[in-house]
Amino acid sequence: MPSLLATGPQALAGAVELAVSSRSLLRGRSTHAQIIKSLYPLPLPSFLSNHLINMYAKLDLPSPAFLLLSLDPYPSVVSFTALISGAAQNNRPLLALNLFPLLLRSSVRPNDFTLPSLLKAAACLGCPLAGLQLHTFSLKSGLLSDVFVTSAAVDMYHKTGLVSHARHLFDEMPHKNIVAWNAVMTNAVLDGFPEAAMEAFIRLRLAAENPNEVSFCAFLNACASVEYFRLGSQLHSFIIRIGFDTNVSVGNALVDFYGKCSSVVDARQVFDSLAIKNDVSWCSVIVVHAQNAEEEEAFRLYLATRREGFIPTDFMISSLLTTCSGLSGLELGRSLHAVAVRSCIDGNIFVGSALVDMYGKCGSIEEAEQVFELMPERNFVTWNAMVGGYAAQGNASMALKVFDEMTRRDEVKPNYVTLVSVMSACARGGRLKEGMELFEEMEERYGIKPRNEHYACVVDMLGRAGMEEKAYEIIKKMPMKPSVSVWGAILNACRIHGKEKLGRSAAEELFEIDPYDSGNHVLLSNIFASAGRWKESIEVRKEMKDIGIKKEPGCSWISWKNSVHVFQAKDSSHERNAEIQALLAELLQRMVAAGYTPDTRFALYELEDEEKESEVYQHSEKLALAFGLICIPHGIAIRINKNLRVCGDCHQAIKFISGIVGREIIVRDNVRFHRFKDYQCSCGDYW
């Protein structure tokens, strides 16, 4: 191999820079070895040493970079800046800041490239004191007149919480370049002030400054966060007019904006028009479909990304796992878990949190626990997901235990979602005392003011315990207008305990808020029907018909061999209906022998007793269960989903069936999970 020296210094430097641009450590080390071999026994020239320091620093290998720096008898500002910049870019802020005193002790004067990297490190660390000291140093050394140093200082003040300092410094800038404007806009969006970002964009245009891709992305993110569809669409027109629509970053921001404004068609048009699509493009469009109830299309696009050769990212997998949670697609979630392991991203905190959430919402709480325990670090999303998983199971004891561990460790502070999950678990698990104590002390202990969601949990908690009147008194004293969930909770309590009068009052409040919700009308009708007040029940149904409200049909579904089998009450259309009916008849005989009596209150029709018994025994969940028993091998849990609340008779019947056939049966209705085994349910008949 010919000596690299024969190609000249520029070629040597170019070979090193090529390793940086391609992020190829192997190529970089090979080039370094050839340089040493060609130069030996001569010392390494400073300009080549600087290139090598830059290469190792940018490739996140600070140790060899620092070794090269220490071997240079006369290190320059270029050497130090390369190492500081690399450390800041690779999320090593402490290393970057610790190099600054060493630079000064080496009698090296920092320049307008060094200070922005140091300010970025201070911002990343969230250390306002270090940022203030660097700002002071730049002011004393005369570097603050440089627009890039000032822009970095503005960004640093925003990210360290010193917003007033950032505004003052920005306003004093004699010339505001696009970097400074972008710092103001992006930080306004991150801090939750989208209107301030929009205002800054308008001021930017009035100052005759030309926006770039960062400016457009910030403005679109601001519009997306408050769903300003019209304003974002106007910006889209401006983007097309000035030719930025071909920019992949701007295109990705447009896809995200339209998706968050629920305009899936526009988002898809932008995505399809992109000449170049990167992994962010695919992630964005997958999330758009996933968040707008188009889960199948989201997974179809995911398969398309794999065919295109893209490697799954943490954001992509976590978004798809969230979709599995909504679908209750346990097997699909397990497949994505395997993909995450193969892609070495299962240790990522966002993927891990999504896995805990998915397993919890799919009813596999044991797998959620395993992922939770193996996570190297946890954030509040992780803890909330674990508490929420126990809440969905109605396991108040474990939810309270995890919450207690979370508050004891002091890793993260509970937020309002955490308290909603814990209080919901208390409501479903009958832990009235603990739930009420948490509600009464939440503002004092955790600094969280009760919201409608917390009041809904309290009303639900009291209502399930038969204290509807006390729950109603709390509603009347609420400092804000009660939401649908609050009135819905007391209406459900009235259904459980047969409180027709209070149920009518709660239903009327719900009809005012949302007159076209079929669920509230049906619930009121069922309250009257359960009490034998058929006339009132029929009147409610007639009102629904008169104003054009159609009841959502109850259905249950079960997955088997990559197919979803859907059943409705009295459904005889399934290809294996004869087998299903035969098994149900056999099970009924065995159940009656074991002491089961059909609860005809749940027939909800004015029929003869014998007809009522036949009616309740043809409910959709029983049909789905019979199919599961026929198809799913012994030893595998039978998992059934239902779009409505499981009725009391089906609940009782499935308890008997679980013991008779010796199977674990997991039913997820629109409220929670029920795990049936050995004649028992995990809810303890309290739901």
Per-residue model confidence (pLDDT) at position 8? 60
Say which residue the tokens 């979803």 belong to. Answer: 564
- State the CB neighbour count (10 A cutoff) for residue 100: 22
Q: Which of 520, 512, 448 is nearest to 491 (CA)?
A: 520
Q: What are the pLDDT digits (tens) for 496-507?
A: 888 888 888 888
Per-residue model confidence (pLDDT) at position 7? 53
Long-range contacts of 142-148 (CB under 8 A, 24+ apart): 143/110, 143/111, 143/112, 143/115, 146/112, 146/115, 147/173, 147/175, 147/176, 147/177, 147/179, 147/180, 148/112, 148/116, 148/177, 148/179
**What are residue 668's DSSP bridge partners?**
641, 673
Mean pLDDT of the chain: 88
Q: What does the pLDDT average to over 557-572?
A: 88
| Cα torsion 616, 621, 623, 626: sign | negative
Ranges 476-485, 515-524, 525-534, 554-563: which has the least confidence? 525-534
Q: Please indicate whether residue 213 or residue 43 has the higher confidence score (pLDDT).
A: 213
Per-residue model confidence (pLDDT) at position 47? 82
Q: Sorting pLDDT into bands at 50, 70 and 90, what band is 4? A: very low
Q: What does the pLDDT average to over 595-618?
A: 60
Per-residue model confidence (pLDDT) at position 614? 56
Ranges 224-228, 292-296, 371-375: which has the least confidence? 292-296
- State the CB neighbour count (10 A cutoff) for residue 227: 13
Q: What are the pLDDT digits (tens) for 82-116?
A: 999 999 999 999 999 999 999 999 888 999 899 99
Per-residue model confidence (pLDDT) at position 2? 44
Q: Structure pTM?
A: 0.77
pLDDT of 133 above 50? yes
- pLDDT more than 70, % of the chain: 94
Starting at the earlier edge strand, list the strands of the sheet with 555-560: 563-568, 555-560, 638-642, 665-668, 673-677, 680-681
Per-residue model confidence (pLDDT) at position 145? 82
Q: Sorting pLDDT into bands at 50, 70 and 90, what band is 447? A: very high
Q: Sorting pLDDT into bands at 50, 70 and 90, what band is 132? A: very high
Q: Which residues contact 637 (CB under 8 A, 6 or more apart)?
A: 663, 664, 665, 666
Per-residue model confidence (pLDDT) at position 5? 46
Per-residue model confidence (pLDDT) at position 512? 86
Per-residue model confidence (pLDDT) at position 611? 42
Length of the chain: 687
Among 158-162, 359-363, 625-629, the range with the most confident prediction by mean pLDDT is 625-629
Per-residue model confidence (pLDDT) at position 281? 93
Ranges 30-39, 75-84, 671-680: which has the least confidence? 30-39
Q: What are the pLDDT digits (tens) for 608-640?
A: 344 445 567 789 999 999 999 999 999 899 999
